[in-house]
Amino acid sequence: MTPLGEILRSARQTKGITIEDAERVTRIPKKYLEALEVENYSILPAPVYARGFLRSYAGYLGLDAQELLPFFPVGHVEEPKLEPLPEVRQPRTWNMNSVIAMVVVVSLIAIVVLLYSVGRDDTSPSFQRVGTAANDTTPDVITGNDGIPVGPDLAIPDLVGLSVADATDIIVQSGATFIIVGVQEGDIPAGQVIGHQPPPGTPIGPGDVVTLSVSR
């Protein structure tokens, strides 16, 4: 025991003050006032509050709190112990928009690869490419099974003497369009090509126009 509890109790009793009176005026719970007087520090709250109670109680009893604080065993007041908080792990979640965007990107890549593979593996027997010598500057011509040039690399053959149906079929297979101009030409049978522009050997394809001069 230290003089602290005895000093507080003697001052209160000298002034004729009850614990209840001190509780009502200081608004310090009765159990804490009694704990200070009997020096039962184990039930007092954290040191900062316990020292505040001592100052208020000493001031109410007319005592100098600064003279009493050295007797106050701060180390005997137990600090409140807090249980460590459990570790919280953020669950991994996938944003739905991100998932949709990823699926779209993968799908587009797969489509591009598929189209590229199909384009390279296309070996359709309906067409054959006629090769040229290394020093030959004549454009390559793609011909069908019937020997008629077709495709975007078409170099238009000589259509003179062909019927309108055969000549226009060749032009259509190249992707080009045609214009027919009727010409009165002696004893040449009607419906036979007697001339065309552009001339034979000119590459034609989509977007080009071939003008056929046909006898009538």
CATH code of the domain covering residue 180: 3.30.10.20
Q: In what order do the strands lie in the sheet with 149-150?
A: 127-130, 141-144, 149-150
Residue 61 lies in a domain: yes
24-44 pLDDT, tens digit each: 999 999 999 999 999 898 889
**How many CA atoms, within 13 angstroms, populate the side-chain half-sphere of residue 128?**
8
Q: Quick check: 98 pLDDT over 90?
A: no
User: Which of the listed residues 58, 76, 94 is the one where a domain comes to its end?
Assistant: 76
Residue 52 lies in a domain: yes
User: Which of the listed residues 20, 44, 76 is the one where a domain comes to its end?
Assistant: 76
Beta strands (DSSP E) in the chain are: 127-130, 141-144, 149-150, 177-183, 193-197, 209-215
Residue 10 lies in a domain: yes
Residue 69 lies in a domain: yes
170-204 pLDDT, tens digit each: 998 989 999 988 888 777 888 899 999 999 989 99
Question: What is the model's pTM?
Answer: 0.35
Neighbour count for residue 32 (Cβ, 10 Å)? 19
On whether the CB atoms of residues 172 and 185 are closer than 8 A, the answer is no
User: Residue 201 sits in which domain range?
Assistant: 140-215
Residue 65 belongs to domain with CATH number = 1.10.260.40
User: Which of the listed residues 76, 94, 122 is the one where a domain comes to its end?
Assistant: 76
Residue 174 lies in a domain: yes
Residue 156 lies in a domain: yes
On whether the CB atoms of residues 175 and 206 are closer than 8 A, the answer is yes
Per-residue pLDDT band at 84 (split at 50, 70, 90): low
40-72 pLDDT, tens digit each: 988 898 888 889 999 999 999 999 999 998 888
How many domains, in total, are found in the chain? 2
